[in-house]
Amino acid sequence: MENRQETEELNIPDVLPLLPVRDVVVYPYMILPLFVGREISISAVDYALSKDRMIFLATQRDVGDEDPAPEAIYEVGTVAMIMRMLKLPDGRVKILVQGLTKARITEYLAEKPFYSVRIDRIVEPALQENTLEAEALIRTVKEELGKIVALGKAVSPEVMVIVENMQEPGSLADLVASNIGLKVEEAQGLLEVIDPLERLKRVNDLLNKESELLNMQARIQSAAKEEMGKSQREYYLREQLRAIQQELGETDARSEEIAELRKSIESAKMPQPVEKEALKQLGRLEQMHPDAAEAGMLRTFLDWMVDIPWGKSTKDSLEINRASEILNEDHYFLEKVKERILEFLAVRKLKKKMKGPILCFVGPPGVGKTSLGKSIARAMGRKFVRISLGGVRDEAEIRGHRRTYVGALPGRIIQGLKQAGSNNPVFMLDELDKLGSDFRGDPSSALLEVLDPEQNNSFSDHYINLPFNLSNVMFIATANQMDTIPGPLRDRMEVINLSGYTEEEKLGIAKRYLVPRQVKENGITDDIVAFSDEALRTVISKYTREAGLRNLEREVGSICRKVARKVAEGKGEHFAISAGTVAKYLGPPKFLREEEMEKNEVGVVTGLAWTPVGGEVLFVEATVMKGKGALTLTGQLGDVMKESVQAALSYIRSKTADFDIPEDFNSTTDIHVHVPAGAIPKDGPSAGVTMATALVSALTKIPVRKEVAMTGEITLRGKVLPIGGLKEKILAAARLGVTTVVIPVQNQKDLEDVPKTILKKLKIVPASNIDEVLAVALEIYPPRAASKPKPSKTEPPKSKVARRVTVPPTGVRGKA
């Protein structure tokens, strides 16, 4: 009360200099230091010091405003007395002020060199005595202030002592508000409240809010401490242990690990951006707690970064003659593949920097696709890596998993390079045609980047998330068929077809590779067992039916095992395997060849078919009977073969006059076409000429030559269209023992792939239309000649067709 009376006795002028303050609200009786730096404010302080040391303090609305206008300054402020002043070396002034009383700005008298304002002093209503409400409110405020101090609010002990001895509501409200760190807006709002009790109530509300906030903060900190307590204790203990070890001159295992990782990264020959990223992650690991969840992931990532062969490569062996010797030593035949590899080595010898080729070996199982890749790597002096893509459905198998996943790893490509230890191996992608796809992605699409020479120089694995150069890798893909490989992926590869082996080739491979290997693997020697050529031919023809060699090697191994048992039992020392003794070891023949027809028959034609295990002979039978024009097809025929029968029948109906067939046969005759082995599904676009020949023979009753086999598709105009798999089909014809094979004219170019030894045994007849096929296949052609007397030997044939179509003499291969 004495201070208030002293204030009232002071003569406070109506006009005072104004000092705008930034981030604080000054209350009456409040003592605080202020730093003054603005020229307008320093001028106001100097003027006040030259007069009665009084100055008006008002808070500006925007803290960052350097030159506040009058409307940017609150109207209600505090008249203060400058108690001390100190000039600082940087030009600023430090003053110590004490608030005296509240006042309101009524008018701005001047703005230069400082604000001069007219004020109206605010006098609070005096309380005669404290009522019960006032006393209760005072006690409540004191208790709440004690609570927030207990919860951690920083309030000086001197202020607490003053608060305990204060009984005036207005002064208590001002003192508490100035020491609990209110926001400027809240503090200014309290300053503008004139009624002491009302002001104390608002202070009480603010104390309650602050108490709740501090309680919530305490609960959060307590929960965090409970969770972090154990790990922090361990951390502190480890830090103390490390400090002790350093004092003793010992280094801990973690420091050694970090140092070793840094040394490995620097010596891994990484590209500059990759090494920068690796060192960055190493720095994160070094600052991280060892037991943190991310620490293990980072450690694994850095191990992969070090192990990947960023700059490690093998030197290519570019001796062409030496490579040719190795390829011939490892593989019999396969001349096209060997030629392609030697071409690559020759170009590499002349040009050091070149993109790795993307080869794709396509062929039946067991023809040597995978082993050929090993031979290529051996010939080039490179490491060999093989991954099997059969059944892979997850794109992450190729590109890897994101590091955010638990147990994430790089994809198969990066894993294979780590396994090889060099960035230029021969990389074999086996079973490419058996890739799958599901909700986890399409692996074949992920391989587009891997197998594209224009893109794979910056291949990015999801786990590594950094570009890796795959252009030095020689990729070799293998597949049994191309149909299931997507077009964009197929377009990125150079396809090399490996067809099945002939009997002669199988015999050569068995003598050079299979028999010696099985003899060695079964613990016997060449002195104990000897295979004759005829024995091997018997095994090839009667115990295996395949384009490759796997079953052949199994059968040879079976004979060797039985011989090994007899030797172990002491039942002999030398065994000669002949054609007659093969059945003794392997039992009755598993496969019997289709026997050649004993005589020319009506409606039975020898067709040729392609299968994944090589060519096969397919007999097509047709018969006619009285009926109403029904067409019956049996033998598990597919849609394509059914359409071939329909096309052939439509062609015959359009040529009834040429074939000497009644025009109304389609309404008086039922036709049945059958292909034996009905339990086996059959389909393909190469049986058209066979179906047409069988139908013409059945309708005209002219027998088909038994020594003729044929293949080709037919159109409604009678043209013969080209087919695929010619080599396999001709080999099947040679095995059957036929002497003449009719092929489409456009397939003559494919005869280069057929072994010359086979071509010498066969007469190849190229045909462009069905008339030329029938001229070779039927005993009599044209068919109407069967009902007319045959011309004498001296008379030339009168049929235009007969004059136009001639049968090549025996022994002519028919190559244009």
Mapping DSSP onto H, E and C, the string for 228-252 reads: HHHHHHHHHHHHHHHHHHHHCCCCC
CA angle 197, 199, 202 (to 5 degrees): 110
Residue 50 burial (10 A CB sphere; 0-12, 13-18, 19+): exposed
Residues with Cβ < 8 Å from 771, sequence gap 6 or more? Answer: 718, 801, 804, 805
User: Does residue 178 carry a catalytic annotation?
Assistant: no
Q: Choose the catalytic residue: 153, 506, 727, 729.
A: 729
Q: ω into residue 113 within 30 of 0, thus cis?
A: yes
Is 516 labeled as ligand-binding?
no
DSSP string covering 367-395: SSHHHHHHHHHHHHT--EEEEE-TT---T
Q: Which two tokens stand for residue 70?
A: 């009058």
Is 283 labeled as ligand-binding?
no
Is 363 labeled as ligand-binding?
yes
Is 368 labeled as ligand-binding?
yes
Bridge partners of 529, per DSSP, are 575
- Cα–Cα distance for residue pair 103/76, rounded to 1 Å: 6
- Cα–Cα distance for residue pair 517/251, rounded to 1 Å: 57
Bridge partners of 625, per DSSP, are 670
Is 434 labeled as ligand-binding?
no
Number of helical H runs and strand E runs in the chain: 30, 24
User: Does residue 792 carry a catalytic annotation?
Assistant: no
What sign for the dihedral angle of Cα 762, 752, 481, 324? positive
Is 367 labeled as ligand-binding?
yes
Pair 366, 550: CB distance under 8 Å: yes
93-110 and 31-36 strand pairing: antiparallel
Is 629 labeled as ligand-binding?
no
Bridge partners of 33, per DSSP, are 96
Q: ω into residue 782 within 30 of 0, thus cis?
A: yes
What sign for the dihedral angle of Cα 571, 573, 579, 580? negative
Other CB atoms within a 10 A radius of the CB of residue 664 amount to 10
Is 525 labeled as ligand-binding?
no
Q: Which of 305, 309, 307 is nearest to 466 (CA)?
A: 305
In the Cβ-directed half-sphere of 31, how many Cα atoms lie within 13 Å? 4
Q: Which of 802, 614, 617 is nearest to 707 (CA)?
A: 617
Q: Choose the catalytic residue: 686, 697, 727, 763.
A: 686
Q: Which of 159, 121, 127 is nearest to 142 (CA)?
A: 159
Q: Which of 506, 615, 612, 501 is nearest to 555 (CA)?
A: 506
Residues making up the binding site for ATP: 363-370
Annotated binding-site residues read 363-370
Which residues are marked as active site?
A: 686, 729
